[in-house]
Amino acid sequence: MTGFKESQDIQHTLLGRRILLGITGSIAAYKSAFLARELVKRGAEVRVVMTPSATEFITPLTLATLVGHPVSSDFTENLDSGEWTNHVELGIWGDLFLVAPCTAQTLSSFAQGACSNLLQAVFLSSRCTVAVAPAMDLDMFTNDATQESLKILSERGVKIIEPTSGSLASGLEGKGRMEEPEVIAGFVEKFFSNMMPLSGKKVVVTAGPTEEPIDSVRYIGNRSSGKMGFALASRLADLGARVTLITGPVNINTPPRVAQRIDVCTAEEMHDATIKIWDKMDAGIACAAVADMRPVNPANKKLHRGDLPDSISLENTPDTLLEMGCRKSSKQILVGFALETDSVNESLKSAESKLKKKNLDLIVLNTLADEGAGFNHDTNKVTIIKSVGEHTEKRIFELKTKREVAHDIIEVLSPMLISKK
């Protein structure tokens, strides 16, 4: 049975964005509560990291209540058990690390690479863009040392949200006030909007398994969880693509900003739904684990034990990827997947053969021989093979989370897709 679901609130730029909010010891820390609430209201998922001095201005309980997650402020979460806060995981988690307010001390520490508290350790571990909203007194802000720290950080790619002028905590008037929460939230929205190089591109992604009925309760299927396909759809949507996600039976929520989700069950349903829209797409990623065979005469009722046949006749299912490759225009890009169990050399030969036979631009090879890769894992280990004229180029990646693998695949795909006119 095929169903159509339009995802909700896709107009919210921050829907599903992961924002790590850092708070340092400034009187402006009270504004962080309003900022956290504003980011959450606009759809972002927010986690908070505080310096020890920040907790003297606003309580972790306040922030934890607003964002719905525990606040991290120390390397050790539980002294009795020895449980510690993994700053590396926090640094990897975020799509943006926003430090607001950011004191002169923290700016200096960031510039020098100091690591005397958890927030500084997260900064050094962050793989995402960092933005800082300075907050301090006039003379501190204009001091040459502070300006030098800002210059160094800016040259390293850190985004600076300039403070405003007005009444300061010291009683002076001048520049140093942290920008207002609504303005900072607007900056964050604009930041993500500018990170959408695939805006306007239409991409279809297939995901999950198919189920080919034997009778009304039994079926032939596989162990695909759909996680890889959903991660790819999520990443494409993050970059502004209009994604149609066609998925077999899985228990996964639709990623934020995915424009359309089509639920199917069988290989034929997946074929029909995909081919129906393929000509209108700029790219397709066939990540689904589609059954190659199906029972010829499935029963329309449950077969009891004594009624089950000794053998089941099978027939081929439609080859959706092959048909997509045959119909592909010069303006379209097609990506396939190859799951193998053979040796490395045999797996590469098989993947390259599939790349050519099905007229693909890229093929993503993974093998069940690699521990932690394949079905029912949150990780994967892939080799991306690209067709370049009569030759191929290969990029081998280490074992990563499927979210990180999706980033790697789309990083290879994006320039190809952008260059197509």
Q: Give the C-alpha separation, 108 to 114, whole Å.
A: 8
Packing angle between helix 30-41 and helix 60-67, nearest 10 degrees?
A: 10
Residues 6+ apart with CB under 8 A from 101: 23, 24, 26, 28, 29, 31, 32, 133, 134, 135, 178
Q: Give the C-alpha separation, 72 to 87, whole Å.
A: 9
Cβ atoms of 82 and 13 within 8 Å: the answer is: no
Q: Give the C-alpha separation, 145 to 19, whole Å.
A: 29
**Structure-derived torsion over alpha carbons of residues 324, 326, 329, 334, reported in degrees to the nearest 10:** 40
Other residues' Cβ atoms within 10 Å of the Cβ of residue 93:
19
Find, among 351, 288, 287, 291, the residue nearest to 316 by Cα.
291
- Out of 78, 117, 143, 222, the active site residue is 222
Q: Which two tokens stand for residue 225?
A: 């969880």
In Å, how far are 194, 364, 386, 398 from 395, measured between CA atoms?
28, 10, 9, 10
Q: Give the C-alpha separation, 157 to 420, whole Å.
A: 29
Packing angle between helix 144-155 and helix 104-112, nearest 10 degrees?
A: 50
Task: DSSP letter for 306, please.
Answer: G
Is 222 a residue of the active site? yes
Active site residues: 222
